[in-house]
Amino acid sequence: MAVFAEYRGLPESARGASIALGNFDGLHAGHKAVMEAARIAGHGRFSVATFEPPPRAYFRPGDPPFRIFRPERRNAAILAAGASTVFELPFNGEMAAMTDEGFVRNVLVDGLGASHVSVGFDFRFGRGRMGHAQRLSSLGRALGFGVTIVEEVEGRGAKASSTAIRQALMAGEPDLAAGMLGGPWTADGIVESGEQNGRKLGFPTANLQLGELIHPKHGVYAVRARIEGEADWRPGVANFGRTPTTGLRDPLLETHIFDFKGDIYGKRLEVQLVAYLRPEKRFDSLDLMVEQMHLDSADARAILATPG
């Protein structure tokens, strides 16, 4: 299993695969269907080709953070789903300028040596998004590889798409996002030191900057957290926002892990958003805020203790 950050000069052992091609942010049910189509075409073996950075980040660098997964989590999830290789196709000025046929010839044929390519029904490629799935199929016939076009897929009653997942997270509906992802959305990062306000108030928190990850709706969540080096998920409650009571600052995910007192500064932490409890608000006093924190913790404990 390997990750390649290039499509040129690949070892022969990495070429000639059945390829699942797309953005694969979030790895939702639609992405999994594209990978399954590639697996079937490859008689059990397939690779995934995605773009790094995503085209949206290249064309609109001023957009708010939008990634559902960091690249490392995306790649790990793809490999865990059975892919033998991940190709991170470098999306730069050269690739943005390629025509649809140029992309197919230069990247898929000359670079990856694709034996088959599977894409979603709405896949677009080439300069100005000129190419579409049917065009890829036509080019494949001309250039010697097969193409499978996967139609729209539902995830637990909702149309599975990265856009829909982002919308659900920004609307404070992590349960809806989980239905499309096949499990809770997970933020991850390195725990950093903060202002120690939570510790002073009896609610020590592990603080994460989300960086390039999408920012969910500001507010309080029931969560599960997993500390680097541990296998189990611990229950907790988290606030994502700007802490209007203790002083505004850049958005931060602050997670209070129930019944835990260890020092985890500098460790990687994963935090699953399970349920949205309430919006972030400004309290007139710290006593009122602490009272609400106790209520939030009780609500989170009750939700997390409920099976399913």
- Condensed to tens digits (0 to 9), the pLDDT of residues 209-224 reads 999 999 999 999 999 9
Which positions are annotated as active-site residues?
Answer: 254
Q: Does residue 275 have a pLDDT over 90?
A: yes
Mean pLDDT of all residues in 89-96: 97
This prediction's pTM: 0.90
pLDDT given for residue 243 in this prediction: 78
Are 225 and 233 in contact by the 8 Å Cβ rule? The answer is yes
CA distances from 281 to 242, 291, 302 (A): 10, 13, 22
What CATH topology corresponds to 2-155?
A: Rossmann fold (3.40.50)
* pLDDT over 90 (residue 10): yes
Radius of gyration of the chain (CA): 22
pLDDT for res 203: 86
Q: Where are the domains of the chain?
A: 2-155, 184-304
Fold of 184-304: Elongation Factor Tu (Ef-tu); domain 3 (2.40.30)
- Residues 240 and 179: their CA atoms lie apart, in Å, by 21
How do residues 279-301 score in pLDDT, each as one tens digit? Answer: 998 898 888 989 999 999 999 99
- Digit-coded pLDDT (tens) for 32-71: 999 999 999 999 999 999 999 999 999 999 999 999 999 9
**pLDDT for res 12:** 95
pLDDT tens-digit map of 168-197: 999 999 999 999 998 999 999 999 976 666
**According to the model, what pLDDT value does residue 105 have?**
98
Task: Please check the confidence at residue 1 and state whether its pLDDT lies above 60.
Answer: no
Axis-axis angle for helices 174-181, 162-170 (nearest 10): 160
Same fold across 2-155 and 184-304: no
- Given a cut of 80, is residue 247 above it in pLDDT? no
Tokens of 230: 């541990």
